Structure 1
Amino acid sequence: MLYWLMKWVFMGPLMRAAFRPDVRGAENLPRTGGALVASNHLAVLDSFVLPLMVPRRMAFPAKAEYFTTPGPIGTLQRWFFSGMGQVPIERGNGRAARAALDTGIGVLREGRLFGIYPEGTRSPDGRLYKGRTGVARMALEARVPVVPVAMIGTDRANPVGSRFWRPAKITIAIGEPIDFSRYFDIADDRQVERALTDEVMYAIMDLSGQEYVDVYASKAKEALEKGDDAAA
């Protein structure tokens, strides 16, 4: 109920007025069944605009802290994120990463849309970075297609370091689903997962027009934080 109120009464209308979103290729989202929606990640705003502007309800991972914070603020956070269809994800070691994958796979097996950012974190400079292979692993284990998506302009509406959103034109480009069914019976093959992940990232690059960098975004951020511009 809260999701639909947010979509059509509260946040949705405000976002349409502020960002004039142009959703291209909405017909490429499967009307039924599970699908993994893989998007580039330019700003925090992505996780609000994308699920509220696409035709079907979509779940996104959210930090577990949003669901476990005590007190009145924690209660409001749990109410908001649960109502928006977000699912709690632990971050940290390998066990937490596996649990996060299992959570997403569970959502997909229920026949729902699940959004993911293959880069693993926001782009530090607007370029598209190397994808993490979790996107391929989830698609193969859940046996669902991957729908590539490009968010364009959210970094202008929600600049890095700014607490406030600014009116700016946003485009959401949705590509055709990528069918990996020919690989469904190949289990835990790192080379296959890498190849499929790269295919997803190239599809996102074609939609977004971003420059692609064959380095993980987290590594680029570390380099920038250390002041190593050349390495970044």
Structure 2
Amino acid sequence: MFRVLFHILARVEINGKDNIPEKAPYLVAINHISLFEPPLVLAFWPITLEAIGASDIWERPGQSVLAKMYGGIQVRRGKYDRQVIENALSALRSGRPLVIAPEGGRSHTPGMRRGLPGVSYMIDQADVLVVPVGIVGSTDDFLEKALKFKRPKIAMNIGKPIKVPRIEGRGEERRNLRQQNTDLIMAHIAALVPPGYRGVYADHPLLKELV
């Protein structure tokens, strides 16, 4: 359903499909500007992905219909929920790939916000590869343009899988390493989008090697 709607409303471009690992599990990490990135990834990924989404999506008129049709792991914004993490880890450990937005919410503008360290915890616990995905064209005015039959372009750029370093140490050192790993993932996503989309990662030193 999502795929048909995207093809009707927009010009969809998918780049880097060859970078998708042949074997699951793995974690798909995306930038998050608006409501449109998760449905795009879920619609055009070649296999079914497990998704993590804010619980209020299941409560909003319109959005709730689509959310309930697809399902997913619900998380309450700004609240730590151990069960959510366990559900995500259970999905990965059972062989199901998972899609997540490390920023933890929509930026509403193309500039990326700093990713949260929770994603690194899940990756370290499940010991999986990360597939970075940069999405371009999914700004908040995407639907307005689409409904005016302008068929805006939206692109999903899939990067090569990365293996982040295992996390050692304790306490503050461990927390810092989790953030470093998240920043590493976000830098790989930033390399897949134009400079105006990179936000806080625009000057990340790794970009010189990746772009």
Q: Give the TM-score, by structure 1 length.
A: 0.72
The separation in 2 between residues aligned to 1:64 and 1:112, in whole angstroms, is 21
The separation in 2 between residues aligned to 1:101 and 1:19, in whole angstroms, is 34
Q: Out of 27, 48, 56, which is 2:47 matched to?
A: 56
- 2:143 equivalent to 1:152: no
Equivalent position SS for 1:108:
helix
Equivalent position SS for 1:141:
helix
Q: Deviations over 1:90-147 (max 9, x none)?
A: 34433x2x33222211111111111111111111321011110111111111111111
Q: Is the 8 A contact 2:111 2:198 kept in 1?
A: yes
The separation in 2 between residues aligned to 1:187 and 1:175, in whole angstroms, is 31
The separation in 1 between residues aligned to 2:78 and 2:180, in whole angstroms, is 25
Q: Deviations over 1:12-68 (max 9, x none)?
A: 12211322211111121222221111100111011211110111111212333566x
Cross-structure match for 1:227: none
Q: Is the 8 A contact 2:36 2:138 kept in 1?
A: yes
Alignment RMSD, CA only? 2.8
AA matched with 1:31: E
AA matched with 1:90: R
- 2:153 equivalent to 1:169: yes
Cα distance change on mapping 1:126 and 1:133 into 2, 3 Å: same
Cross-structure match for 1:230: none
Q: Is the 8 A contact 1:63 1:89 kept in 2?
A: yes
Q: Is the 8 A contact 1:90 1:99 kept in 2?
A: no
Q: Deviations over 1:169-228 (max 9, x none)?
A: 010001011113x516767721221111111011011101223316xxxxxxxxxxxxxx
Equivalent position SS for 2:153:
coil
* Aligned-pair identity (%): 26
- Bigger Rg over Cα: 1
- 2:196 equivalent to 1:205: no
Q: Is the 8 A contact 2:131 2:161 kept in 1?
A: yes
Extract unaligned runs of 5+ from structure 1: 1-5, 215-232
Extract unaligned runs of 5+ from structure 2: 202-211
